[in-house]
A and B are shown apart, each in its own frame.
Chain A
Amino acid sequence: MVITTRPGVADQQIDALRERLERCGMRTLAVRRGTRVVVACLDAPGAAENSGDWQEDVNIESVMAWTRPYRLASRDASPGGAHDTTPIRIGSAHDAVVGGNGIVVIAGPCSVEGLEQLRATAHGVRNAGATALRGGALKPRTSPYAFQGMGAEGLELLSLVRQETGLPVVTEVLDTRQVDLVAEHADVLQVGARNMQNYALLAELGRIGRPVLLKRGFAATITELLFAAEHIMTRGNHDVILCERGMRTFESATRFTLDISAIPVLKRETHLPVIVDPSHAAGDAELVPALAWAAIAAGADGLIVEVHARPEQSRSDREQQLSLPAFSAMMRGATTFAAAAGRRLAHGAPTIVEPPLYVSRQAALRRRPVAS
């Protein structure tokens, strides 16, 4: 049930209305829209919804049943109008906002392989205009014999390079036991396609105060993706960024089939920002720019792209990672496509005015005086 008040209702009357609803066992979320307040009711038991006496309250303009099965993620609970997107800040830089007018580009290697590789790639993507850095430290690989990532050491390197470049860090979390560790290093916690329906992990992410980048499972419907977002949001974390990354189809020319239509469908269904991963969809670096531009044309709020300073030396997904010159060329095209869509690319990280002050966490811990 979604209740819209009449214009100018006093805070105390909104409080009283919410108390009435919450006494019936509902949880409410109130959002101000101009002079009206929209009260979204969750966990609504049928009896209270059907009682009908809400219509008689003079402060209430309308009472609507939820029009979609998912709630907090749906347009019904949108803080803005029918086409607005809820902006989600992903770092401290002024323009690092997903879902604003600026299209955000998150770029970096598939896996963190070492400091020099990460540093070279991060500076390269930053110079080409990327807004944030991606890099996997904990890698879910199809084969247990493939490189599984650098683990905690890789997270330390991401923190170090964030300090040097000012780029917010986006990295994947695989397991409920890793959430606190990854949150210590990451600005955005990514849920990979294989984990989209790992409900225990989604619940853990719901209790932390970090944005979550939720990738669509390669065999999941759009509705299932939105329910996965709902699992995070009902636990209290409303900063969810959705990501289309390709579906499994009968086509074998590409690794997955990028579902471009998911972008306008999601834009119609949800107020959450939508970004696209052309790298995993294509599985082929040559195809990545065309898919990235198509995503911008279709209304995506951002891209997450795999880039490696030396793709030929990469330890994972070598064939789908762009070289730095290829990434720069993709960004030039993206600027044009963004302008055609009435948007612009988000500005990159702010200029660094001082050399990095970073000391590794272990070094800092070693230097900390012993408490008396």
Chain B
Amino acid sequence: MSAPCRNGRDAAGDMLASGRAAIEQIDRAILRLVAERLQVGEAIARSKHAAGLPVLDPAQEARVVRRAAELAREAALPEEGVRELFWRIITLTRRAEDHAA
């Protein structure tokens, strides 16, 4: 009587473990992409600095967030949360750009 119950729990445990492993892989990919984004930001900051252009571009930042919000809506993701996430990413990029410039 207890065997099917235990099997059910084992299956649920396996599913949980594989789900968590998949999430860890996704997190690693997100971090790689964030690192890549910061490097690109730094390169842009250096070239702007060399050309005598202002590094900070609020209009471009607002465009990036708008594009992210549109994509989030198309993908049926929570739009406000995605906007918040992108403002955070932009803050990180700004800091990296400050160091580079």
* In the assembled complex, A356 has its CB within 8 A of some CB on chain B: no
- Could you tell me if B65 and A22 are in contact, using CB atoms closer than 8 angstroms? yes
Per-position 1/0 for B27-44, Cβ under 8 A of A: 000000000000000000
Q: For A20, what are the chain B residues with a Cβ–Cβ distance below 8 Å?
A: 62
- Could you tell me if B80 and A30 are in contact, using CB atoms closer than 8 angstroms? yes
Interface residues of A in 22-71 (CB under 8 A from B): 22-25, 27, 29-30
- Could you tell me if A15 and B80 are in contact, using CB atoms closer than 8 angstroms? no
- In the complex, which residue of chain B has the Cβ closest to the Cβ of A236? B84
Nearest chain A CB to B69 CB, angstrom units: 6
- In the complex, which residue of chain B has the Cβ closest to the Cβ of A11? B73
* In the assembled complex, A19 has its CB within 8 A of some CB on chain B: yes
- In the complex, which residue of chain B has the Cβ closest to the Cβ of A28? B83
CA distance in complex: A364, B63 (Å): 47
- Could you tell me if A25 and B58 are in contact, using CB atoms closer than 8 angstroms? yes
- Interface size bracket, A side: 10 to 19
CA distance in complex: A175, B59 (Å): 38
- In the complex, which residue of chain B has the Cβ closest to the Cβ of A357? B9
Q: Identify A23's interface contact among B58, B69, B73, B87, CB under 8 A.
A: B58
Also in contact, A23 and B59, with CB within 8 A (given A15-B66, A15-B69): yes
Interface residues of A in 191-243 (CB under 8 A from B): 236
- Could you tell me if A19 and B62 are in contact, using CB atoms closer than 8 angstroms? yes
Nearest chain A CB to B95 CB, angstrom units: 16
- Could you tell me if A29 and B80 are in contact, using CB atoms closer than 8 angstroms? yes
Q: For B14, what are the chain A residues with a Cβ–Cβ distance below 8 Å?
A: none
- In the complex, which residue of chain B has the Cβ closest to the Cβ of A22? B62
CA distance in complex: A46, B84 (Å): 23
Q: For A29, what are the chain B residues with a Cβ–Cβ distance below 8 Å?
A: 80
Tell me the dominant secondary structure on chain B's binding face: helix
Also in contact, A27 and B70, with CB within 8 A (given A19-B63, A22-B61): no
CA distance in complex: A29, B73 (Å): 15
Nearest chain B CB to A181 CB, angstrom units: 20
Interface residues of B in 75-94 (CB under 8 A from A): 80, 84, 87-88
Nearest chain A CB to B89 CB, angstrom units: 13
Q: For B65, what are the chain A residues with a Cβ–Cβ distance below 8 Å?
A: 19, 22
- In the complex, which residue of chain A has the Cβ closest to the Cβ of B79? A30
- Could you tell me if B70 and A15 are in contact, using CB atoms closer than 8 angstroms? yes
Q: For B88, what are the chain A residues with a Cβ–Cβ distance below 8 Å?
A: 236
- In the complex, which residue of chain B has the Cβ closest to the Cβ of A31? B80
* In the assembled complex, A344 has its CB within 8 A of some CB on chain B: no
Q: For A236, what are the chain B residues with a Cβ–Cβ distance below 8 Å?
A: 84, 88
CA distance in complex: A27, B58 (Å): 11
* In the assembled complex, A310 has its CB within 8 A of some CB on chain B: no
Per-position 1/0 for A1-33, Cβ under 8 A of B: 000000000011001101110111101011000
Q: For B80, what are the chain A residues with a Cβ–Cβ distance below 8 Å?
A: 29-30
- Could you tell me if B84 and A23 are in contact, using CB atoms closer than 8 angstroms? no
CA distance in complex: A17, B100 (Å): 32
CA distance in complex: A319, B42 (Å): 61
Nearest chain A CB to B8 CB, angstrom units: 11
CA distance in complex: A20, B63 (Å): 9
- In the complex, which residue of chain B has the Cβ closest to the Cβ of A24? B58
Also in contact, A19 and B66, with CB within 8 A (given A25-B58, A30-B80): yes
CA distance in complex: A199, B3 (Å): 54
- Could you tell me if B73 and A18 are in contact, using CB atoms closer than 8 angstroms? no
Nearest chain B CB to A358 CB, angstrom units: 13
Also in contact, A23 and B70, with CB within 8 A (given A29-B80, A30-B80, A236-B84): no
Besides A18-B62, A30-B80, 10 more A-B contacts (Cβ < 8 Å) are A12-B70, A18-B66, A18-B69, A19-B62, A19-B65, A19-B66, A20-B62, A22-B66, A23-B58, A27-B87
For this complex, 30 residue pairs linking A to B, each with C-beta atoms less than 8 Å apart, are A11-B73, A12-B70, A15-B66, A15-B69, A15-B70, A16-B66, A18-B62, A18-B66, A18-B69, A19-B62, A19-B63, A19-B65, A19-B66, A20-B62, A22-B58, A22-B61, A22-B62, A22-B65, A22-B66, A23-B58, A23-B59, A23-B62, A24-B58, A25-B58, A27-B87, A29-B80, A30-B80, A236-B84, A236-B88, A357-B9
Which residues of B are in contact with A by a Cβ distance under 8 Å?
A: 9, 58-59, 61-63, 65-66, 69-70, 73, 80, 84, 87-88
Q: Which 8 A-B pairs have the closest CB atoms?
A: A22-B62, A23-B62, A19-B66, A23-B59, A19-B62, A15-B66, A23-B58, A236-B84
